[in-house]
């Protein structure tokens, strides 16, 4: 039975000065992964000795496993530890990885090797033996429940004065990708400092607002807010240019199809979680989609699809994009 180490345990090892000689860092949350890697780099080897004792290999360009072993078996110089980081281990050939297996079984105590892989194939001997011996550390993406508290905590750490609503809005726009969330928080901090941050400030700065615009647009359309939807459309086209029109048609069609499916699933009393899977959307979006599904009649959805089909035809035969889209909004 394999036991996985959590990122927090790695930090405990680090702070207690008991780093293990081997780790396999993997998973989608590369932001968290890099943060911990940075802390290890800072603390494991003193700055004055880093040039001699920290080595980085990259699996991408065809690394020789012999070089990794040589580096691992060298004694630290002017420091108690050596640190070796092997990036993109999943790109190293399986046969080369097997050469490393004997080392995994009896590693050198003074060296800490961290293998970094985004999607390791655990059917391979090397990765499976790493996992079996408890060296694997999984960096999971934030869950919906964790995301908003995480944003709040990161913002507070930065010294940002951000409201809960704004955090929710940011989460709604970006989702659970911690790196993207953090970058946006950093930008907000640089722009506004300690000033109060609400939803408008996020809309102004976030690069993800464009994807969110389609949601807003759909919301307005389903509430039959013609004036507002025209305004949103124009703002979007102004920022993105006329070429964005096809994208809008595509995204609106997708949205309407999703609402259609959600209506169907609603009538079958499918749980939100399953619905997210079946619709192929992140779980935090389902609530919003259900809200829209309640406001739409099936015949209106059909009409909207038909109008979109016509608008698509007009666009592809070279009509003026803004005009066609506006006419669609007014006819719906």
Residues that bind another protein (CB under 8 A): 30, 56, 58, 60, 87, 177, 179-180, 183, 186-187, 190-191, 193, 204-205, 207, 210, 226-228, 230-231, 234, 238-239, 241, 314, 317-320, 323-324, 326-327, 330-331
Of 19 and 33, nearer to another protein (C-beta) is 33
Using CA of residue 159, residue 162, residue 163, residue 164, what is the dihedral sign? negative
Of 101 and 190, nearer to another protein (C-beta) is 190
Residue 241 CB, nearest approach to another protein (Å): 5
Of 168 and 226, nearer to another protein (C-beta) is 226
What distances in angstroms separate CA 143 from CA 9, 147, 151, one per listed residue?
19, 6, 12
Residue 261 CB, nearest approach to another protein (Å): 26
How are strands ordered across the β-sheet holding 22-26?
54-58, 82-87, 111-117, 22-26, 136-138
Radius of gyration over every alpha carbon of the chain, rounded to an integer in angstroms: 26
Of 128 and 183, nearer to another protein (C-beta) is 183
Residue 37 CB, nearest approach to another protein (Å): 10
Nearest residue to 308 (alpha-carbon basis) of 234, 254, 240:
254
Burial-class residue 178 by CB neighbours within 10 Å (0-12, 13-18, 19+): buried
Nearest residue to 72 (alpha-carbon basis) of 36, 115, 42, 40:
115
Of 80 and 241, nearer to another protein (C-beta) is 241
Residue 143 CB, nearest approach to another protein (Å): 20
The number of C-alpha atoms within 13 Å of 48 and in the hemisphere containing its C-beta is 4
Residue 18 CB, nearest approach to another protein (Å): 26
What distances in angstroms separate CA 147 from CA 17, 43, 151, 267, 284, one per listed residue?
30, 28, 6, 30, 10
Contact present, 25 and 138 (Cβ < 8 Å): no
Of 110 and 118, nearer to another protein (C-beta) is 118
Type and span of the H or E element at 83? strand 82-87
Q: Which two tokens stand for residue 273?
A: 């979680």
Residue 193 CB, nearest approach to another protein (Å): 7
Would you call 25 helix, strand, or coil by DSSP?
Answer: strand
Buried b (16+ CB within 10 A) or exposed e, 93-129: eeebbebbeebbeebbebbbbbbbbbebebeeebbeb
Of 85 and 265, nearer to another protein (C-beta) is 85
């Amino acid at each position: 039975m394999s036991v996985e180490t959590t990122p927090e345990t790695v930090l405990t090892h680090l702070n207690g000065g008991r780093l293990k000689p081997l780790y396999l860092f993997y998973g989608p949350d590369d932001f968290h992964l890099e943060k911990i890697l940075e802390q290890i780099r800072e603390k494991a080897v003193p700055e004055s000795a880093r040039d001699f004792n920290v080595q980085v290999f990259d699996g991408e360009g065809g690394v020789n496993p012999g070089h990794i072993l040589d580096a691992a078996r060298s004694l630290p110089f002017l420091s108690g530890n050596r640190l070796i980081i092997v990036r993109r281990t999943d790109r190293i050939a399986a046969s080369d990885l097997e050469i490393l297996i004997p080392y995994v079984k009896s590693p050198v105590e003074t060296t800490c090797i961290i293998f970094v892989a985004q999607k390791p194939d655990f059917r391979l001997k090397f990765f499976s033996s790493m996992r079996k011996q408890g060296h694997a550390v999984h960096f999971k993406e934030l869950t919906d429940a964790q995301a908003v508290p995480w944003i709040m905590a990161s913002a507070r750490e930065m010294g940002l004065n951000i409201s809960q609503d704004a955090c929710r809005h940011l989460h709604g726009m970006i989702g659970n990708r911690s790196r993207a969330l953090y970058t946006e928080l950093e930008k907000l901090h640089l722009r506004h400092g300690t000033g109060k941050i609400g939803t408008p400030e996020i809309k102004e700065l976030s690069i993800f607002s464009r994807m969110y615009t389609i949601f807003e647009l759909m919301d307005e359309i389903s509430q039959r807010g013609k004036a507002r939807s025209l305004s949103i459309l124009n703002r979007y086209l102004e920022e993105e240019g006329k070429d964005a029109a096809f994208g809008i048609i595509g995204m609106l069609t997708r949205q309407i199809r999703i609402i259609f499916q959600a209506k169907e699933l609603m009538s079958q009393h499918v749980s939100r979680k399953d619905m997210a899977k079946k619709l192929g959307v992140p779980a935090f979006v389902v609530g919003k989609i259900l809200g829209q599904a309640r406001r739409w009649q099936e015949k209106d959805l059909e009409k909207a699809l038909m109008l979109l089909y016509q608008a698509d035809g007009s666009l592809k035969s070279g009509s003026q994009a803004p005009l066609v889209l506006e006419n669609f909004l007014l006819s719906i």
